[in-house]
Structure 1
Amino acid sequence: MLLVEDDDLMRRSFTVALERYGYEVKAAADGLTGLELFREESFDLLILDVMLPGLDGIGLCRRVRESSLVPVLMMSARGDGLDVVAGLEAGADDYVVKPVDTYVLVARIRSLLRRATYAPAPGPGRAADEGPPEGAVLEFGDLRIDTAGMEVFVSGSTVALTPTELKLLLEFAAHPGVVLERHTLLRNVWEYGWDGDSRVVDLCVQRLRRKLGRERIETVRGFGYKLRR
């Protein structure tokens, strides 16, 4: 994974801690160096601090999203709500607030990596909330979801989704017409074991709407969202 953090102490401590958990970490101290490393090598996940010299984390995330759907975890200083929103709007999948305990950071990393290799559970006998059966092709008007190839099409054209966006769409597709509350989506998609920040859900839904069409996912005020049948 690639870690971009300008604070020397934090960068070293995060690198050592993550390596103890078995992750291979490349680190950069500024956004431009991070972008250069990203273009030179292949990474399973990026961890980007928001405040970086040269090219900030939000700008770096936007540059990454021009060519890649790699999972991105943003780190923001405590209380910087605008940074959180901007990072998620730029295409980040999740965020943590600094200072962050290592076990929290690792939990978010594991969740992102699971999403990146996500496939629906196979066969009959699945629980109702485990998603569509493996190999199913789901169609909602001109929206087509191939759950075997993990591909999404609108009017026959392929739509590129990040792993988080895809898992969120599959969650909606497993319950068409059913209102899903934000805390349910946080638990099932982001794997939050506690009440997380619902802005993560709201902004990911906004990104899905931009890619699929605003009419696809309906807001049910005071409750959550549902995929129109």
Structure 2
Amino acid sequence: MTTIRGQLPTSGRILIVEDDAEVARLLAETLGENGFQTDHAGDGVEMDFLLRRGTYDVIVLDVMLPGESGISICRRIRSEQAIPILMLTALGEEVDRVIGLEIGADDYVTKPFGSREIVARIRSLLRRAGYSFTPSDRQRILKFDGWRVDSKRRQVHDPNNARISLTSTEFDLLYAFCLNPGRIISRDELLAMTHSGLAGPVERSIDVQISRLRQKIEKDPKTPEIIRTVRLGGYTFAASVEEA
């Protein structure tokens, strides 16, 4: 799949893992009408066979499957690769949603769902995947102005070695900036780089998150020196970054 930055992905290979043949057929038709190629597996065994034969851009994974559950499959896939996973469930209970996201699912849709919603969520995952951190990125420890950012442990320490508490989104934003020092990053890119893109927030939500992040890392948040606003452009990380 190729994606031009700033445009919605209009193609890609999608693997549908769903034991309900009618649901799978409707999904395949909807995605096909929107330019996506699809394959279908009815359980984890068929999914493994297809994954050995080819590569996919997104896996649409039902929670309730015969044999190995979708939760177990998601955990297994995530331990091996970073392919985006959109989970489907008929349960609709918050606890299932939380478990799915905690074990590595990238998004969660409750049945019944609309065709426009499923297409929009898959496009969002594809778009974000184009900006996602690589496995090697997630093993790095970076430093700037005495600060230490440990991506493996997802910890941040200030110049006095005190650990600073950041939310998941705040950490992802800071790490995205550290990987792109000196580059102007648009709000749209920042949404794509972080999990804040899951719920479809407006661009201003990034401004709020950055304001909160500045409160924690800037000497004077009102006149920031590290995360600077670029008028009509987005933001830039002004500090020098190096490997720890």
Q: TM class, shorter-chain normalised?
A: 0.5 to 0.7
CA 1:174–1:38: 2 relative to 1, 3 Å: closer
The equivalent residue for 1:96 is 109
What SS does the corresponding residue of 1:66 show, helix, strand or coil? helix
Q: Does 1:26 align with 2:32?
A: no
Identity of aligned residues (%): 37
Q: Per-residue deviation at 1:142?
A: 2.9
Give yes or no for contact 1:115–1:167 (8 Å, CA) kept in 2. no
What SS does the corresponding residue of 2:16 show, helix, strand or coil? strand
What SS does the corresponding residue of 2:110 show, helix, strand or coil? strand
TM-score where L is the length of structure 2: 0.55
Q: Does 1:189 align with 2:192?
A: no
The one-letter code of the counterpart of 1:35 is D
Give yes or no for contact 2:92–2:111 (8 Å, CA) kept in 1. no
C-alpha separation between the residues in 2 aligned to 1:102 and 1:48? Answer: 16
Any stretches of 5+ residues in structure 1 without a counterpart?
120-136, 145-151, 156-165, 177-183, 195-224
The equivalent residue for 2:120 is 107
Q: Could you tell me which of 49, 57, 79 is aligned with 1:66? A: 79
What SS does the corresponding residue of 1:142 show, helix, strand or coil? strand
Q: Could you tell me which of 18, 26, 32 is aligned with 1:5? A: 18
What SS does the corresponding residue of 2:71 show, helix, strand or coil? helix
Superposition CA RMSD, Å: 3.5
Q: Deviations over 1:22-62 (max 9, x none)?
A: 10101111122113322332111111010001111111111
Q: Could you tell me which of 173, 186, 189 is aligned with 1:171? A: 173
Aligned residue pairs: how many?
159
CA 1:138–1:15: 2 relative to 1, 3 Å: farther
C-alpha separation between the residues in 2 aligned to 1:76 and 1:59? Answer: 14
What SS does the corresponding residue of 2:96 show, helix, strand or coil? helix
Give yes or no for contact 1:11–1:27 (8 Å, CA) kept in 2. yes
Give yes or no for contact 1:118–1:167 (8 Å, CA) kept in 2. no
The equivalent residue for 2:240 is none
What SS does the corresponding residue of 1:74 show, helix, strand or coil? strand
Q: Per-residue deviation at 1:68?
A: 0.2
